[in-house]
Structure formats: structure tokens, C-alpha cells
Structure 1
Amino acid sequence: MKKVHTEVFAHRGLSSLYPENTMIAFKAAAKLPIDGIELDVQLTKDKIPVIIHDVTLERTTEGKGMVRDHTLDQLMTYSAGAWYSEQFRQERIPTLEEVLIWAKDYTFRLNLELKCPSWERKEMWEAVKHLIDHHGMSDRILISSFDHVLIASIEQEATTVETAVIVVAGLFKPLSYIQSTGTRGFHYFFPMMLDGEIKPLMEAGISVRPYTINDNQMMKQAFQSRVTGIFTDYPHVALQIREEI
């Protein structure tokens, strides 16, 4: 049987050992033979794409309130690492441009999960697309979102950037739905869909990548199912299991 290379994406960087979505977490992940890094993108009040997961600041920074209600200068006054450990106090919320410039020296892909309210879809994509084009990174970028309207609108531009929709629930007749958005990527919560429901998608050429798999047995199951890729907070563990399989 032909060996299938299931990609391993470091979820928010090497987030099991470092504060998520920080440069130190990304740099630690880059030391591993990973296939990609997943990171979350939001807009600041002054419309600059930054890397942070929650729409509010409290969990992973010393700030309070919504990310989009703060300017970049305001956000830069908060530590993005002290919540995890005092030794990471110097970490700040990275800008997308900072990450793109840094990633140029590597070959792995970047999965940008876009997070914005519906009324900011156009502003979000224009800001992100400008940076991708400016830094010549379109062939190494994967755009994903829970906002399927946003993904469909990106696909309608006939862009060369790969896209994917993200879902939590198990979908009924997923292939027809995914194809209706125009994307060929499907990121799903691993426990919510059976192998038999995913196999037809892969046979139809859809790239399927379950998230966020941190359990060793589930990793083995995913690799044995030969999915396109997985997202994990433990990429170092996943790489070892992939090698063993």
C-alpha cells in the first residue's frame, strides 16, 4: 500500500509547551519537521491583522475587552505570555506581517484562521490578502474560517490561495455542502464524524483535516484513516506516532 503523508499542523504553535499564538511558540514549532502552523487572525481597531484566538483579551493577555476595540499600540502594552508563565512575560501579540516575514525562511505552510464579525468580512480579507501578496506567500497559505460566507466569497475571487471551511458539528450530506461553498478544504472536530463519513470526501478530492487531536490513540486513528492532515497542540508527539505508523 502506498504510504500517505498526513500533514501535521502545530495548533497555535507548539502550544502545549509555550503560550499559544506567540512568536516563541511558533519558533519552537519550527524546530520540528512539521508541515504547517495554525494561527488565528483578527483585526485591531486600526484594522491591522494580529494573531490571537479569543475575541476578548482576558484569557491570554493582561488586557480587558474586545481585541477589535484596541489599537495595535494599545495591544502591544500587554503581555501575551505571562498568563502561561512569568518567564514568557516579554511575549507580545504578534502581527500577521511579523509572522509572514519570519516564516519566509522556512518551507512549512501557514493556516490562517480568520475570525471577525460578519460586517468586517471584506476589511478582514483585504487586509490579509494585501499582506500575503506583498510578501509573496500565496503558495504557502491556507485560509480557513468558521465563517463559510467569508470562505465562499474568497473562492469567488478565483484566488490561488487554498481555503477550508471549519465545522464543529457532524454535517448531513457534507460533500454537497462543501462543494457548494467552492472550497476544497474541510476542517472538522474529530469526534463528530465517522471514518465512513469522511472517506467519500477524500475520494472526491476534498482535503480533510481534523482538529484538535491531542490524544495519542486518536492521533493513531487519524493517521490510519489517512486524512490529509491533523491539528494538534502536541506536534512533537504526533510526528513520532506518524513515523511509527
Structure 2
Amino acid sequence: MKPLIYAHRGASGRYPENTFDAFHAALRHGADGIELDVQLSSDHEVVVIHDVKVNRTTNGTGLVQNHTWKELRQLSAGGWFHPRFQAARIPSLHEVFAFAKPTSLRLILEMKNLLVPQPGLEDKVLELIDLYKLEKRVTISSFNYSSLAEIKRKNRKIQTALLYIGKLSDPWEVAEQYQAEQLHAPVGGIDRTLLDQAHRRKLSVVAWTVNDPSAIRRLASWDIDGLITNYPRRARRLVDTKKEP
């Protein structure tokens, strides 16, 4: 079975991450889904941006949560990548769901609530999932496992994923503790034993971030469930045809 191809923050190898330029490209390039990051503005809008500060990916400064949605909306989220993307803006999750709804795209939402607390983020995300009826197409991931447990407490039907760095000892046991259905593991920490043990326990395994052609081929041959990549077109071609990109 072919792994699902998830575009990491959209097709972020060629377009500014977590913008509609990257999301539209992911769809064009044959991705099965998009991995994106969510957190709250100061006025509790769920916004799509990776870092806790806006400094790296916009022309602004400071913590995301210290800015209103209107202030965040005024920032360029693409000029840092290339001048032709100067007009790109930080999307809201509301807008991303509206875009994804008529497509077949799956969505992985990483909640950025480990380093900086985001009180109420779980409720806001669940409200939007319900509003757009995307319960079956959304997976919520986080390094904050208490937050994953909170999601399950509020809606047991939502798929959750244990996100981790390095090699986690017996990650399936941690997943069971927090009622997660998926392991989102770094590409360097995945081997056949991990996959076999996870699959034996009915856990899906999704690798991040997989850009190297040989790694894509290897993991696909091991029947991994999903690949998160900056280059979805490359991954699609390799998974489908086994040819070099």
C-alpha cells in the first residue's frame, strides 16, 4: 500500500511555508494532505504559523499571541522567501478549512502549545472542525501530550498523533497512554522494528520530514503509512513510479 503524501507546511520547499501559495501548490503537486501549524492570536483567532514568534517568516516582530488577528493579517508572510511572494499573508484556520473542504485533502494540525501555553486552543480547533464537518479528515498532533489527551476528552472521534523528536523508547506505550492513533516520528528514528511494533498495535506511522529520494523509497518499501515532505511532487513521483525526481 502506498504511503500518504503530506505537504509539510504546504509545498514549503518551493513556496513560503504555511501560506496559501504553498497550500495550493501542494494540491497541484498531488499531495494527499497538508501538515500545518496552529496557534492563537491575542484575540483568540486560530492562525496558521509555525514559530511562536513572527520574526522568521514575516516582516513583523514579537510573539504571535501578542498580536491581534488584524495585526497579523497586515504582515507579509512570503517576502522573506522571495520578493514575488510579498503579498502572501498568514492564513486563519477558518480560511484553510474553507479551502480544503471541497477537496479530498487530509489535514494534520500541529498545535504549537508546548513552549508557549495556548489556553483554549483545543476548543477553538474542535469548533472549527465541527463547523466544516472535517472530523474524518483531520489529525491533531502535538509535542504537548496533555493537549492530545484534552482533545480526546472533548471528542474521542478525532484522530490524534504523538509527535516526537529522536528515538522515543516504546512510543506505542506512550500513544496508548494518551489514546493517540498515530506516531509522527522523525525520519532518522524509524526502522523496520518500529514499524512492525506500531502496526502490530494498530498504530499508523507518519515520518517527518522526508525530502531525500532514497529515504522516500526506503520508507515506502517498508509500508510506512505516511510521509511529511517539503517536496510533495517529488515524493508523489517516487512513490508512484519509483523514478528519480
Q: CA deviation at 1:218?
A: 0.7
Aligned equivalents of 1:27, 1:78: Cα separation in 2: 20
Q: CA deviation at 1:231?
A: 0.1
Aligned equivalents of 1:165, 1:220: Cα separation in 2: 24
1:33-69 deviations in Å (ceiling 9; x for gaps): 2211000001001111000011111110000011011
Aligned equivalents of 2:110, 2:172: Cα separation in 1: 21
Q: With structure 1 as the length reference, what TM-score do the two structures score? A: 0.95
CA contact (8 A) 1:189 1:212 kept: yes
Matched, 1:148 2:115: no
Q: Report sequence identity in percent.
A: 34
Q: CA deviation at 1:101?
A: 0.6
Q: CA deviation at 1:120?
A: 4.3
Q: CA deviation at 1:174?
A: 2.1
Of residues 12, 16, 20, the one that matches 1:19 is: 16
Corresponding position of 2:126:
129
Q: CA deviation at 1:80?
A: 0.1
Of residues 210, 213, 217, the one that matches 1:213 is: 210
Q: CA deviation at 1:166?
A: 0.2
Of residues 96, 101, 104, the one that matches 1:107 is: 104
Deviates more, 1:41-50 or 1:173-182: 173-182
Of residues 154, 157, 160, the one that matches 1:157 is: 154
Corresponding position of 2:62:
65
* Residues 118, 54 of structure 1: alpha-carbon distance in 2 compared, 3 angstrom cutoff: closer
Q: CA deviation at 1:119?
A: 7.9
Deviates more, 1:136-145 or 1:119-128: 119-128
Q: Secondary structure of 2:136's partner?
A: helix
Aligned equivalents of 1:14, 1:186: Cα separation in 2: 22
Corresponding position of 1:87:
84
Give 5+ residue unaligned stretches, structure 2: none
Aligned equivalents of 1:116, 1:107: Cα separation in 2: 28
The alignment of Structure 1 onto Structure 2 pairs a total of residues equal to: 242
CA contact (8 A) 1:121 1:150 kept: no
What is the identity, as a one-letter code, of the residue corresponding to 1:168? I
Aligned equivalents of 2:122, 2:231: Cα separation in 1: 30
1:96-146 deviations in Å (ceiling 9; x for gaps): 000001111201101111112578455001111111111111111111111
Matched, 1:46 2:5: no
Aligned equivalents of 1:193, 1:209: Cα separation in 2: 10
Matched, 1:229 2:221: no
Of residues 8, 11, 14, the one that matches 2:5 is: 8
CA contact (8 A) 2:171 2:183 kept: no
What is the identity, as a one-letter code, of the residue corresponding to 2:69? L
Aligned equivalents of 1:45, 1:219: Cα separation in 2: 39
Aligned equivalents of 2:22, 2:190: Cα separation in 1: 30
RMSD between superposed Cα atoms in Å: 1.4
Q: CA deviation at 1:28?
A: 1.0
Corresponding position of 1:35:
32
Deviates more, 1:63-72 or 1:194-203: 194-203
Give 5+ residue unaligned stretches, structure 1: none
Aligned equivalents of 2:170, 2:50: Cα separation in 1: 30
**Poorly superposed stretches of 4+, deviation over 3 Å:** 117-122
What is the identity, as a one-letter code, of the residue corresponding to 2:192? D
Q: CA deviation at 1:190?
A: 1.1
Q: Secondary structure of 1:139's partner?
A: coil
CA contact (8 A) 2:209 2:230 kept: yes
